[in-house]
Amino acid sequence: MLSLHTNGATLAAQNSIGRTNSSLSKSMTRLGTGFRVNSAMDDAAGLQIATRLRAQTSGMQTAMRNTQNSISMIQTADGALDETTSILIRMKDLATQAADGSATDTDRSAMQSEYDALTDELTNIVSNTSFGGTTLLSSRSDSKFQVAINFQIGSAKTEVMTQDLSTQLTTMHTDLLATNSGHVFSADGTVGTGTGTAITTAAAANDAITLLDTGIQSVSSVRSSLGAAANRLDHVYQNLSNMVTNTKNASGRIMDVDFAEESASMMSNQMLLQAGTAMLKQSNSQSSLVLSLLQ
């Protein structure tokens, strides 16, 4: 039907151009941003899932940094206890030497002086080893390992690793204190004072050997627990790394645009837009046919 008021072909062409232009705009936006989903209108369900995955990924990455910081703290404590063990072994050597009948009182007095100096260094190490400004091994109430520590090892509230060394640490302090009677050893930061009597006689030196063995065992017990915790944290880090990788891949499959597919779609829409524009021009010329009938 020829009509001056209604041109069906023009209306159809206009609708087609509008839809094509909308699709072309969407394709260009996706190619420009690199994302398939740029607003909730693009994929409401996908956006919700991807947002949840992104929040989980961010939390796990933070937990990975937590594990690295925790491992560093544990390694700091372990390094201090390694030196403590070396000192105790030297003290045991002195006690063994002093217990021998060939040693004189003068010899034992010289050995006791070194023994006292080593006790002072034990005090310094145990009292002042710190991480981030907080002591790790002292008996002070604010010491890091004096209470149970909760390591946040995941993005969820329940993903917590608890490490409690308070009992072992207290035992270590007690055993170290017993290694040099008469000389002040304090794990709370007090500087060593006085002259010890641990190896001033052969009998006392013989007893000190047993006390030092006990002290070495106590220190080793703490180190063993620290090592186990560090190993677990290392495995936690590796697992989190795998989870982050896979979760990012899952989010990417939802959010990222397929450039090959979207480029093909854009080219198709551009051709359709050109064709639709040409047909709109042709359909508008149909109205002139009405005038030819009136001539």
278-291 tens-digit pLDDT = 776 666 666 666 56
Domain that holds residue 159: 60-238
Query: Do 90 and 222 share a domain, yes or no?
Result: yes
Beta-bridge partner residues of 169: none
Q: Is pLDDT above 80 for 237?
A: yes
Query: Do 232 and 272 share a domain, yes or no?
Result: no
How high is the mean pLDDT of the chain?
85
Q: How confident is the model at residue 261 (pLDDT cuts 50, 70, 90)?
A: confident
Query: Do 203 and 272 share a domain, yes or no?
Result: no
* CATH at 85: 1.20.1330.10
- pLDDT value of position 278: 72
Q: What is the mean pLDDT of residues 265-271?
A: 79
Percent of the chain scoring above 70 in pLDDT: 86
Q: Residue 159 domain-assigned?
A: yes
30-76 tens-digit pLDDT = 788 878 888 788 788 888 898 899 999 999 999 999 999 999 999 99
Query: Do 85 and 193 share a domain, yes or no?
Result: yes
Query: Do 172 and 278 share a domain, yes or no?
Result: no
Q: Residue 46 domain-assigned?
A: no
Q: What is the mean pLDDT of residues 130-146?
A: 90
Query: Do 114 and 193 share a domain, yes or no?
Result: yes
Q: What is the mean pLDDT of residues 106-114?
A: 93
Query: Do 172 and 289 share a domain, yes or no?
Result: no
Total count of domains within the chain: 2
Q: Residue 128 domain-assigned?
A: yes
Q: Residue 2 domain-assigned?
A: no
Query: Do 12 and 98 share a domain, yes or no?
Result: no
More confident residue, 141 or 150: 150
Most confident by average pLDDT, 153-167, 173-187, 281-295: 153-167
Query: Do 177 and 276 share a domain, yes or no?
Result: no
Q: Is pLDDT above 80 for 100?
A: yes
Query: Do 157 and 290 share a domain, yes or no?
Result: no
Q: How confident is the model at residue 180 (pLDDT cuts 50, 70, 90)?
A: confident
- pLDDT value of position 294: 61
Q: Residue 164 domain-assigned?
A: yes
Query: Do 138 and 192 share a domain, yes or no?
Result: yes
Q: Residue 251 domain-assigned?
A: no
Q: Residue 167 domain-assigned?
A: yes
Q: Residue 173 domain-assigned?
A: yes
More confident residue, 81 or 194: 81
Query: Do 221 and 287 share a domain, yes or no?
Result: no
- pLDDT value of position 175: 92
Last residue of a domain, one of 201, 223, 238: 238
